[in-house]
Structure 1
Amino acid sequence: MPVLIRGDSNMIVMPLSYSPAAIERSFQVVDEITLAGKRFLVIFDKQTPRAAIVKADIEEIDGVARHIAVAMLELANQKSIGDNVISVERFWEETDLLQVEGVCVERRYQEAGFATRLYEALVINCGVILMSDNTQYQGGKALWQKIARESKELSVFVLDTDSGRFYPYDGTKVIYDGSSIPEEKIWSEHPDTTRFGVVLIAEDKKKIDKLASN
């Protein structure tokens, strides 16, 4: 049974499978994962946008060939949040900014880090920047903390969209490592909206390190 990582509310529906033709027509295969001898494909539809992890081996469902989905990322092209306008050109030139609206992972694969692999594949292999949803459920908060703490591919930052500044909001940009920034400065957990304008940003760690060294 698919489980919504961001929490039990506002459940999104994860497609159970995709036909090979649908993947060829609408998606780009951006990464492969091997787990316990089984292959999985990370697929990305830039136009919708949406991303998923599916089993590489085709299975038959009612006589129809399908790739079974085990994880899904619900995304949105986002240049505005409510009354706050984010200029992509201002912060990230020539880079797509996608907001994560929900993450669905089949329960047996949650401990395998498939959600993190989805984030990493999109940022590293597709050149996008991922932004968190504005209201964080406990599961979404835990996932962002895990990525900030453990990912060797991504750097996470905290952006206040009200002021258009990254934490600590003094013109600098401090990396969040899962615990380095006070919790009360970041999270607006449902139903609280006091930190609605604060979002987390995931970027390519190598690019950030290269910029820092210049």
Structure 2
Amino acid sequence: MAIMPMSYSPNTLQRRFEIIDEFEMGSSTYWIIYDRKTPFSAVVDAGPALIENDLRHRVIATLELIRVENFDGLSVRSFWQDAAALQVEGVVVQEIMQGFGLATRMYETLVVHQNITLMSDHHHYEGGKALWKHIAQKSRLLQVFVLDTNEGKFYPYDGTKIRYDGICIPESKIWSVHPDESLQGIILIAEAKEKASALSVPVI
């Protein structure tokens, strides 16, 4: 289970992270920070607060990622020549900050501004399913596709590539619930809408 750090010192933030987005909610300003070496992203309060007699940037959301070169012999590079491919390993948002779209904003910032293709975890947890469905339905910047990593083909597996809108592909074709692992080879892919493949078929 992903554990969210409580805060970062200004020195640690400057040394380890890039600030890749800045936005306001209410009266506060927040940064999305990214450590491309790990890789790892987080949302932090841009204004450091005094915590235990030390100035620190409070962390309100984190996104743990892993680099993926191959899925059981399937070369990621054969699909995305011009983008880094990272798999989502865990997302944590402070309970009090849930419902403000912070996870979606991290996904969008990484994909659109850092030229990253994001992939879902092979393990289908309820929270992850809900987030991916929300992105597929609501995001104005991303498009979501369904990939069978065992076959190396996008749904509907006939050479086309249909955008998933959260409802157009049956749940039974995407998700398998533990202990059933029959669909663990199925993952979701988030790409920038402006860079989506010409093979994609828009949902009508």
Q: TM-score, normalised by structure 1?
A: 0.90
Residue identity matched to 2:167: S
Q: Does 1:75 pair with 2:65?
A: yes
Structural mapping, 1:26-37, within 5 Å? 26-37=16-27
Task: Check whether the contact 2:161–2:199 (CA below 8 A) recurs between aligned residues.
Answer: no
Partner of 2:141: 153
Q: Post-superposition shift, 1:85?
A: 2.7
Instruction: Quote the Cα distance in structure 2 between the aligned partners of 1:172 and 1:210.
Output: 9
Partner of 1:205: 193
**Number of residue pairs matched by the alignment:** 201
User: Where do 5+ consecutive residues of structure 1 fail to align?
Assistant: 1-10
Residue in structure 2 matching 1:107, options 79, 85, 95 = 95
Partner of 1:121: 109
Residue in structure 1 matching 2:3, options 13, 28, 36 = 13
Instruction: Quote the Cα distance in structure 1 between the aligned partners of 2:118 and 2:51.
Output: 34
Q: Does 1:173 pair with 2:161?
A: yes
Identity percentage of aligned residues? 48
Task: Check whether the contact 1:88–1:95 (CA below 8 A) recurs between aligned residues.
Answer: no
Instruction: Quote the Cα distance in structure 2 between the aligned partners of 1:14 and 1:190.
Output: 25
Task: Check whether the contact 2:89–2:121 (CA below 8 A) recurs between aligned residues.
Answer: yes
Task: Check whether the contact 2:69–2:77 (CA below 8 A) recurs between aligned residues.
Answer: no
Q: Does 1:65 pair with 2:55?
A: yes
Q: Deviations over 1:130-186 (max 9, x none)?
A: 000001111110000000000000000000000000000011110000001010110
Please give the root-mean-square deviation of Cα atoms over the aligned residues, in Å: 1.6
Task: Out of 201-210 and 48-57, give the one that drifted further.
Answer: 201-210
Residue in structure 1 matching 2:78, options 80, 90, 111 = 90
Residues 209 and 161 (structure 1), Cα distance of their counterparts in 2 relative to 1, 3 Å cut: closer
Q: Deviations over 1:45-97 (max 9, x none)?
A: 1110000000011011111111000000010001234xx13313200003110
Instruction: Quote the Cα distance in structure 2 between the aligned partners of 1:168 and 1:119.
Output: 25
Q: Secondary structure at the match of 2:98?
A: helix
Q: Secondary structure at the match of 1:76?
A: strand
Residue in structure 2 matching 1:195, options 183, 199, 202 = 183
Partner of 2:36: 46
Q: Deviations over 1:1-51 (max 9, x none)?
A: xxxxxxxxxx21111111111111111111112101211000011110000
Instruction: Quote the Cα distance in structure 2 between the aligned partners of 1:22 and 1:106.
Output: 21
Moved beyond 4 Å, runs of 4+ = 209-212
Residues 41 and 169 (structure 1), Cα distance of their counterparts in 2 relative to 1, 3 Å cut: same
Q: Secondary structure at the match of 1:111?
A: coil
Instruction: Quote the Cα distance in structure 1 between the aligned partners of 2:116 and 2:137.
Output: 20
Residues 209 and 38 (structure 1), Cα distance of their counterparts in 2 relative to 1, 3 Å cut: farther
